[in-house]
Structure 1
C-alpha cells in the first residue's frame, strides 16, 4: 500500500504519510477531519496527558500500548460463525483491501496496524442478503499477554447483513476494525466489549459509506479495566445514512471511553448519534471511582450540502464519586444544511419519576431499577437480534445488583 503525503479531501493539514516532518505532525488543522493520520506508528509522538486526544485517558493504565513498550506476546483469536453466503479470509497486511476504510489517527491505532499478524476479512457479496446474524467472537490473548488485531467487514453493492462482534476474555488488546460499505449496502453491526475485569482494550472503528448505503452501528461497553473505543465515519458519495448508538455501564475502578467522529464530506447524507451511559463506584482512600468519557465530534464540510445530523449523550450517575465527562462538538462549514444539533445531559435519578412510581406503591429500590432499565431500553430495543437484547437486559440487571439499585 502506498502511503504518500497527500492532502485529504482537499483540506490542508490532513496528511497520510510514512515519514512526516515534525511540521506535518504539529501543524494546526482546519477542523477535526483534518487531524494528522498515518499507518506508521513512528509518525506519532508518544502521547501525554496534555494532548487533546488523550487528556481524559489514564495513560499509566494502558500497559504500554501508547509508548511502544507493549510488545505482542500472543494472538487474540477471531472466530467467525454463521458464514453461509459469506467469505472469510485471513490475509497479510499487504493485501490491497486492508486500510481502505480509514487511516489511524492516534498512536495506539497505528501501533495496532503495524503489529498485527494476520487480518480477518469478512465479505458479503453483491446483492446477497444474509438472513442470520454473522457472529464474530474476539477472544483476548489471556492474562498478562498482549495482542494486536485487525478485522474488516465488507459489504459489496446491494448486500445486506447483521454482524455481532463479541469481545471477551482477558489481556491487553489493541485493534482496528473496518466497515466498508459499497453503494446501496446495508449493515447493522453490534460490537460488545464484555471483557474480564483485568482486560485493557483500545479499539479504532473505521466506517466508509458508499452512495445510498446504510450503517447501523451499536457499541456496548460493559467489561474490562480500561476500554477506549473510537468510531469514525466517512462518506464517499451522496445518500449515506449512519446511525451510531451506544450504551456503557461502568463500575468502581472502570474507565470506559468513547470518542466518535462523523465526517460529512459528501452532500445529502444523514447521521444520528445517541449514546447512553450509567456509572456507579465507591469513594474512599485507595479506591478508584468509576469514570466514563464520551467525546462526540460531527463535522459538516463545505461541500456537504443538505446534511441532516444530530448527536445526543446522556449519563446517569448512580452513586457518589462516579464521574462522567461528556463533550459534544459540532463543526459546520456550510449554511446549506437540512438540520444539525447536539446535546448532552448528566445527572442522577429524576425525582419526579421516582415520586410517580412510589406513589403507585412501588418501592424505591424497585423504582430505581425500573428507571435504569427504561433509560437503556430506548437503545436496546433497536437492536434487531433478540438474543443480544436478552443478554443486555440480563447484564444490566447484574450491574444493578452490585449496588442494590
Structure 2
C-alpha cells in the first residue's frame, strides 16, 4: 500500500487556543504546540517524499520516512520548545494590541533600573582597591617574608610559640602595605603608559581617580608606620622600612625615575628586594625574639643569592620587548647588546648563583644542610639550562622569552621555600 503526503494537507495551525474561563487571579492565554497527524486519506504530491508501507514484511504497518521528520530526534525538543516560545511571544504581542491586560510580563521586559545600594558601592570600591594594590603581584614578596621568619624559628626551635605567629602577623601586614605603596606609586606615574600596555588597571580604566589613588598610597605609608609604632619597632627597623619606601619612590617618581634607566634599574631593584628587604626582615625577626642580629652564613647566602638573582631578573625582563624597544629607540640592555648576549649572560650568572652555594656548603658543612642544598640546587641548575635551551631554540621570540622570565620567578620562590631547611 502506497501513501503519498502533500503540503496542503499539512497546513495546520502551529498553536491551538484552549477554552478557558477568566479568573480574577490569573487570566492567561494558553498555547500548545501540536504535531501534525498522518492519515491514510492524504492526496499525493510530487513535491513531498513518498512513504511506502509493506504489509507482507511485518505484522504491523511501518511508515518509512526520512529519519527525524516526525519522530523523536536530537533536535525535536529544542525546536519544539523554541517554537512554543516564539508562539507565546506572538500571542502576548497580539493580546497587547487588542488591549488585553491579562498577559504577564517578565521582569526583564519591564526595564526598571534598581539603584545601587550602599553595600554594592562599598563592595565595588573595595574590589577596585584590591586591583590597585595588585596583591597577586606580591606573591614572591609574601613568600620570602614568611620563609625568612621561618628560618629564624628553625634555627631557634626553643623559642617557638604559637603566639609568636600572631605577634608576627602585623609585621607581615606592614610589608604588604609597603609593596602596595610601591605598586600604587608605580601606577600613578605610569598612568599614560598603562593606558596602552595595561588598560585593565583601575587608573587607566577610570575606575579610580588620581586623587583617590594618592589617598590610598598615603594611607599605605601612614598605616605601615603606625603598625611599626604599635609593635614597638626599634630605630633600625623603622629606618630600613623608610629606606625601602624612599627608594621605591625614587624608582617611579620624577625627576629621578630610576626605572627609565637600565643601569639604575639593575642597581635599585636588587638593592631594595635583595638587600634592604632581606636584611630588614631577618633583623626584625631576630630582634623581636630577643636574639642579636649577626651575619651568619645562611644570612649572607640568601642576601647574596637574592641580590644576584634580581640582577638577572632586571636584565632579562626586557628581552620579550626588544623589538618594540628598538623601534621606539628605548635603550635597554637587550636592545643595546642583543637578546642573545643578554640571555647568555643571564644563564651564566644563574649557574654561578646555584653552584657557588654548593661550594660554600662543602667549605662550611656545619652551617648548611648539604643533603637539601646539594640535590635541590643541582636539579634547579639543570632545569634552568633546559628552559634556557627552549628559549634559544625559539630564537628568543616574545613568547619563549616571556616564559623564561616567568620561570625565573618560579625558581626564586622555590629557593625561598627551601631556605628554612638549607
TM-score bracket for the superposition, by shorter chain length: under 0.3
What is the TM-score normalised by the length of structure 1? 0.23
* Structure number with bigger Rg: 2
TM-score using structure 2 length: 0.22
Which protein has the bigger helix share? Answer: 2
